[in-house]
Amino acid sequence: MKLFNYAISLLTLNLYANELPIITSLNEDMSQTTQLATQKNQNIDYQPFILSVWNQKDLFTFGVSNLKDALMLIPGIDLMGDSINNRTMVVRGSNPLAYGQTKMIIDGVVVNDHSFDSYNAYLNFPIEIIERIEVVRGPGSFIDGVNGYAGTINVITKAHNKTKSTANGTLFAGFGSHQSHQTGFWQTFDLEKSQLSIDGFYYKDNAKSPEIVTDKYGKTGFAPLNNEQYNLGFSLRSDNSYLLGRVNEYVYGSAFGNLNALPNDAGQQSTPSWYLESGYATSLSSDILLKIKGGIYENSWESDARSLPVGTYGPLTYPLGYWADLKLDNRQIYGNILFSFTGLSNHNITAGYTFKHEEVTNIQSITTERVDGGIILVDYSKSAPFLDADAAHRYTHEFYFGDSITINNDLELALNFGGTKTTSISTNQYQRAALVYQPHRSHIFKTMLGNSYRLPSWQELYTLNNPVRIGNPDLNPEHVTSYEAQYIYKPSSSLFLGINAFYLKNNDQITANTNSKIYENIGQRNIKGIETEFKGEYSENDSFAFSYSYITGETIKGDQTTDYLPFSSSHLLKGALSYSLTSEMKAAVTGRYASEKKRRPDDGRSPTKSFSTIDMTLGWENSAGFYVQARVKNLFNSLYYYPSTVSTYNGDYPIEGRIFWVRTGLKF
């Protein structure tokens, strides 16, 4: 009933506006004519960002099955996780121990949760329901009102894609290793004056760690890494308004334990969420466009597991182990108003305001009685919760302004600045300037200078009564200053070569103190590197993509200062190649290499080993839209590890080995 009431309120007020990124509209234009791909000011490569774009067609050809694997094809991006397998994409080595370094946007809605500032619950999205993925590396965002710190990931689903397609829907299914199986669909219906699209999927596996692990307390076994997910989304669009929503239920194993102890096999976590957003756009004059949007986003985190095995820990004894049933419910209500003005010659001006109210709506902390010999469960939700729910709320006001200035036919200047005022945190400002020069249709040069910030998450601010991490309500936001330059060479519409260099100064990095376990602004990272990306088609039906990233730098943190970046690979090499065996059958190979990850100076263990993998795919699709595809991921069974931090597990966290996957479907 609550969800229904919110939907009615949004529809009745009609206060919100459609705000697809400019890259989306440019891609729609590009789909109409291949000539547009090489015209000045009319292609995605001209945008004032370091940008990578992947379409569903190419991802499918290379055998990519979900969003996580698609993002691993992007230069400069590596995967990081923790003891509870909360996965995050690390862009250019920026603070791998934090979750909110990047923002993920699904159909214009930021889906980072409030508990961790993570988007882990959306990384299993099947490629079948995704139309396009747009990734900005570096501060800033191509979506007005979204201020990325290390990067921005924009996902446009089939349900919200405006581009006309030859297919109106797809039914798909898959199965593979670890008893994994998946079913899903998407379909679009053309109504009299609007368009309705829906999508959904279900996925389940019973995965465990690929090798036996030994936890901090000497207990050995396989860590539960199983996944189960239900997801349903819709989008209702007309010429000047829209309503969209999504429900996502994600349940996963407790992995290596919330307290650095191997949990019971049946231990699990869940991060359910749902959102509803509506929008409206209208022209106030021939030069002024008004867009208004708003919505609600609710997300939760729940853990139900044996957090500590049977034994004595300090003065406390747990004859049956230490059990915990924890739950945190969060709510965000937001609104945005945006003006776009084109009345000045050679200027495209935007100005906007965003309001958010974020709060914890419920907390549950039921654990084993915290006394010597405790065996019964006690509700500590009021007396000793795991998070200060009363303090976990904030009002945020953000103002932003942008101007895209066409200096001449070859040169464009993009300026953006804004400020955010949040409860208990002083006003923070950001600025960004980008100069794009295109003297010839095949050559583009970009230089960019900017700064940004990341607000702390609930976990970093308000965690209580936890022996391995303690929140700090006095934290300041993380800050970054970036210097970037890029050269793009496009000899044709089907070939792309990009080379870019960057230098980042990350200040006030938020990290848990190794000794006190309290989150503090104690880190500084100076990061520099280069990224190269070469992709395109080498024949009419065959394509390739290769990239190499070199990342280096220093950390400045008292006696732990280093001339390297802990938990980061200096070398990332990625590649993909597809080949047509017949008109209906294709083969593909993808590969990835990440060099070793060094540790902090206070951790005497050897670095996390380098990782390399080869994936093989064979697929068949006929003219009627029926397809079958088989994939072997990690052909040579190289184990992938998340680095463990000091005083947790002696060894690293083994996550993934060889995986088989078969999928089939019908496009109609």
Q: What percent of the chain has pLDDT over 90?
A: 80
Please compute the mean of the pLDDT values over residues 656-661 and round it to a whole number. 95
DSSP 381: T
Q: Give me the pLDDT at residue 147, please.
A: 79
> Of 203, 333, 205, 331, whose CA–CA distance to 273 is shortest?
331
| pLDDT over 70 at 379, yes or no | yes
How many Å is the Cα radius of gyration of the chain? 24
Tell me if 385 sits within 8 A of 363, measured CB to CB. Answer: yes
| pLDDT over 50 at 38, yes or no | no
> Of 517, 394, 395, whose CA–CA distance to 464 is shortest?
517
Antiparallel, parallel or unpaired: β 77-80 and 88-91: antiparallel
How does pLDDT run across 148-158, given as a tens digit for each residue? 899 999 999 99
Q: What percent of the chain has pLDDT over 70?
A: 93
Q: Give me the pLDDT at residue 363, please.
A: 97
How does pLDDT run across 306-358, given as a tens digit for each residue? 999 998 888 889 999 999 999 999 999 999 999 999 999 999 999 999 999 99
Kindly state the tokens that stand for 526: 């100076």
DSSP 121: G
Tell me if 471 sits within 8 A of 463, measured CB to CB. Answer: yes
- Tokens 């990440």 belong to 594
- Measured in degrees and rounded to the nearest 5, phi and psi for residue 382 equal -100, -40
Antiparallel, parallel or unpaired: β 102-106 and 151-157: parallel
Q: Could you give the CA distance from residue 292 to residue 11 in angstroms, rounded to a whole number?
A: 13
DSSP 217: T
The mean predicted confidence, pLDDT, of the chain is 90
Tell me if 439 sits within 8 A of 429, measured CB to CB. Answer: no
Q: What is the pTM of this model?
A: 0.92
Domains and CATH numbers, the chain: 2-667 (2.40.170.20)
How does pLDDT run across 487-534, given as a tens digit for each residue? 999 998 889 999 999 999 999 999 888 888 999 998 799 999 999 999
H or E element in which residue 549 lies: strand 543-555
Cβ-proximal residues to 585 (8 Å cutoff; 6+ apart), any chain: 618, 619, 620
Q: How would residue 45 be classed by pLDDT, with cut points 50, 70 and 90? A: confident
H or E element in which residue 9 lies: helix 2-13
Q: Give me the pLDDT at residue 314, please.
A: 83
Q: Could you give the CA distance from residue 138 to residue 482 in angstroms, rounded to a whole number?
A: 7
DSSP 262: -
Q: Give me the pLDDT at residue 163, please.
A: 60
Q: Could you give the CA distance from residue 432 to residue 409 in angstroms, rounded to a whole number?
A: 22
> Of 385, 398, 401, whose CA–CA distance to 477 is shortest?
398
Tell me if 263 sits within 8 A of 312, measured CB to CB. Answer: no
> 303-315 as b/e, with b when 16 or more CB fall inside 10 Å?
bbbbbbbeeeeee
Please compute the mean of the pLDDT values over residues 613-630 and round it to a whole number. 97
- Tokens 């010429």 belong to 239
Q: If you write DSSP's letter for every residue of 86-114 in order, what string do you get?
A: --EEEETT--TT-STTEEEEETTEE---S
Give burial (CB, 10 Å; 0-12/13-18/19+) of 223.
Answer: buried
- Cα–Cα distances (Å) from 417 to 174, 401, 449, 531, in that order, read 46, 6, 12, 26
Q: Could you give the CA distance from residue 7 to residue 275 in angstroms, rounded to a whole number?
A: 10
How does pLDDT run across 628-646, given as a tens digit for each residue? 999 999 999 999 999 999 8
| pLDDT over 90 at 41, yes or no | no
Cβ-proximal residues to 346 (8 Å cutoff; 6+ apart), any chain: 405, 406, 407
